[in-house]
Amino acid sequence: MMSQAQQRSWAPLSFKTRLLIYLFFFTLLSSLLFLRGRREVLTDHEWDVLIFTQHWPNTVCMTWEEKNPSNNSCRLPKEKDIWTIHGIWPTKLGTIGPLYCNSSYHFNATQLASIESNLTEYWIDVEVPQPANSFWKHEWLKHGTCCSALPNMSTELKYFKAGLEWLDKYNMKNVLDKAGLYPDTNTSTDLTTIWLGIKTGLGVNPSIHCIHDKKTGQYYLQEIRICFDKSLQLTDCDGIRSRRMFRWQPLGNCPNEKPIFYPNTIPPRSRKPLPPPPDNSVISLLKVIQFVMWLTS
């Protein structure tokens, strides 16, 4: 708390001046916390956890189609409402990577012949017209080659088999269904509810990722990431790189205060902009001031 002398020196300042000082320190604090979490891409091959990433095909498709509406289309899994695999990513805590660890490990599609039908359904390349096998090749060269020290992932076939086994055991459709969260284009949920559903179902902290629809301003659930240690046991994703500002927030890039949509269909390209929200700038500003005053008291 401020001493009487400090209070006397503070009192003559105008409200506007004090407000600017509060905002300055709030911005400074936010920047420091953000920079604290930033790291460069890792250049050596050491890693701490494996991030198993599943993505929601409807949201992936919407994003892909809008990159090039005249050419891009989507390939969706035959089984309805399943999450599919994006990849298994060895990761050093606080960084991105390592990446592309062994240039002598080439991609050979024939090694995957025994599981190709399952990969085509569950490790599906949603994006059309990408070249055949380009998605699998990318994941193996960029991430799979960094798993080679693990006996269970020392070959291309073992790497992709591990992903299929984990999807069968930890598919986010089942996890979210048990939490009462079902795909619904017209109904939104919130980040805390999604996080709690996964945390309750698996017992570990996930990392949850959304895309922001610039047409409507809505947020769509896109990816859910869970982590494994080197003994291939589930572990918290705490410590992986994330866009969260404060440690008490759920990992990922989804907003805490916005509704999040988990669409059961691909949102149409002709989506209309939402009406602008009511002007709550004064209320928001007062909340910021209140928070900073609490933080600095």
Rg (CA), the chain: 23
Asked about 127 being catalytic, the answer comes back as no
Please tell me the distance from the alpha carbon of residue 100 to that of residue 45, in angstroms, as a whole number.
9
User: Residue 119 is inside which H or E element, if any?
Assistant: helix 116-122
Under 8 Å between Cβ of 51 and 207: yes
Decide if 86 is catalytic: yes
- To the query of whether residue 223 is one of the catalytic residues in this protein, the response is no
* Cα–Cα distance for residue pair 51/235, rounded to 1 Å: 10
59 contacts 105 by C-beta, under 8 angstroms = no
Catalytic residue, candidates 65, 127, 143, 156 = 143
Contact 119, 112 (CB under 8 A): yes
> Choosing from 65, 139, 156, 223, which is the catalytic residue?
139
Within 10 angstroms of residue 36's Cβ, the number of other Cβ atoms is 9
- C-beta of residue 106 within 8 angstroms of C-beta of residue 140: no
Beta strand 207-212 with 219-228: parallel, antiparallel or unpaired? antiparallel
Amino acid identity, position 202: L
Is 183 in contact with 171 (CB distance < 8 Å)?
no
Max distance between CA atoms of the chain, in angstroms, equals: 78
Residue from 86, 127, 209, 223 carrying the catalytic annotation: 86
Question: Which residues belong to the active site?
Answer: 86, 139, 143
